[in-house]
């Protein structure tokens, strides 16, 4: 997931260099929708592979969700701590006022 997030960030930065305004928004949203589907796929895979165990116990569901969190943690850290300022300069993930 870290690799997918890195590619997503560089695509967003490339879009910001080429487009502006509504074009940047529309293309960025299209890329985001693809990224969102790819981000959720591991969760569906983990639940599907462990479906009998998940149905038997809530603890197993929590274990699957924790596993997904561990898979996503490096990507979230990279986005939130390493590249967020660069993305904000490009016009994405602007802080709320």
Instruction: Say whether pLDDT at 21 is over 80.
Output: yes
Q: Does position 97 have pLDDT exceeding 90, yes or no?
A: no
Name the pLDDT band for 61 (thresholds 50, 70, 90). Answer: very high
pTM: 0.84
What percentage of the chain has pLDDT greater than the value 70? 100
- What pLDDT is recorded for position 93? 86
- Which alpha helices (H) appear in 1-97, and where do they start and end? 2-18, 22-49, 51-56, 58-77, 84-89
Cα dihedral across residues 55, 56, 58, 59: positive or negative? negative
* Placement of tokens 């967020």 in the chain: 84
Domain range annotation of the chain: 2-89
The span from the CA of 93 to the CA of 12, in Å, is 11
């Amino acid at each position: 997931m870290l690799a997918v997030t890195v590619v997503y960030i560089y695509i967003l930065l490339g879009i910001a260099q080429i487009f502006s305004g509504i074009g940047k928004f529309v293309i960025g949203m299209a890329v985001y929708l693809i990224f969102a589907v790819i981000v959720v796929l591991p969760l569906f895979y983990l639940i599907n592979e462990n479906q009998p165990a998940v149905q038997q116990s809530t603890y197993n569901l929590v274990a699957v969700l924790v596993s997904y969190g561990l898979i996503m943690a490096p990507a979230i850290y990279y986005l939130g701590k390493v590249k967020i300022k660069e993305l904000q300069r490009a016009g994405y993930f602007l802080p709320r006022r």
